[in-house]
Chain A
Amino acid sequence: MTFVQESMYLGFIFTILAYLFGVWLKKKVGWAVLNPLLVAAVVVIGGLLLTGIDYETYNQSAQHISYLLTPATVCLAIPLYKQLHLLQKNFVAVIVAILSGVATSVLCIFAMCLLFQMDHISYVSMLPKSITTAIAMGVSQEAGGVVTLTVVCIMITGIFGNMIGETALRWFRIKEPMAKGLALGTSAHAIGTTKALELGEVEGAMSSLSIAVAGLLTVIAVPVVSGWI
């Protein structure tokens, strides 16, 4: 057991293998619900529960994967740079689209929190749930929310957006690559963006841009609506 507790690579390789299994399963079965990211998380959780290893032990090894998230976010500038001409040509449309998405997000959360009779703390914790974790944590804290609750909602949103994104875009008949990228990035932040990068370079570029713009617009929007419940 000591080896399992102390291994630097076990959690790391287990995470990678779980993801590869998710990719394989998706290819084999073909259901959109079998999102590789979700399957991998479920497999890892199952593995931890079965072996009795706690999350902290697992994360000691797996955190080295998360460590790369900040440089990876920096690298989102690469697809964006390659598609910069599209942004310059459609600048107003892009900003208005992201703005409408941010407004939809906070109004939707307000209406549904009212419906479910959620308290003020849950409400403000949920408000920044469509944006990237690093920005959202600050927004939630500033508004008096519970940061862990915010992170839970961000992960649910991201995984769901990644999982359903392709299908939902088809339902809504959104066909333009730029529009697809903006929709994925504004609704499901960086996790949605990994799906957008899979769809194509234009989608990936617009989704990357949405992470930053939607994040900053949400910083402005949340204090405006946070007193409503």
Chain B
Amino acid sequence: MRYIGECAIIFGITLVGELLNAVLPFPVPAGVYGLFLLLFLLCKGIVKLEDVEATGNFFLDIMPIMFIPATVGLIEQFGLIKEILVPIVVISLLSTLAVMAVTGKTAELMMGKGKGKEGDRQ
């Protein structure tokens, strides 16, 4: 029974996210609306952590395999990118590394100097 209730909450919120995505004019996907909605409901105590945790953790645990079909789908696009494959790969890889370095370093710098230092660890 536990999982049925949890699924009802999670898929219900997903549905509301889908609805918001369809109705509101912002380029926000259903999942992101749903993320903030669930966060809000948890913060307000309307949904308790134990009401969604078991199913939620299951979904998070299997999340990596959800990207495999789309990755496999890249073979379909090979014709499109063949000619610009090298620059695309180089640009993607280098910019990913740059973003990682700048974001991480900025965060450490800001937290190191800011008042939030004691909050870095629990």
Contact = CB atoms under 8 A, between A and B. Distances in A.
B96 A157 contact: yes
A129 B11 CA distance: 28
Contact of A93 (B63, B74, B94, B114): B114
Interface string A73-97: 1111111111011100110111011
A169 B101 CA distance: 7
A151 B91 CA distance: 14
Interface of B: 10-11, 13-14, 17-18, 27-32, 34-39, 42-43, 49, 52-53, 55-57, 59-60, 62-77, 80-81, 84, 87-108, 110-111, 114, 116, 119-122
B85 to A, nearest CB: 9
A69 B36 contact: no
Contacts of B91: 108-109, 112-113, 116, 118, 126, 153
A83 B111 CA distance: 16
For chain A, what secondary structure do more than half of its interface residues adopt (helix, strand, loop), or is it mixed? Answer: helix
A149 B83 CA distance: 12
A32 interface: no
Nearest to B57: A78
A194 interface: yes
A98 interface: yes
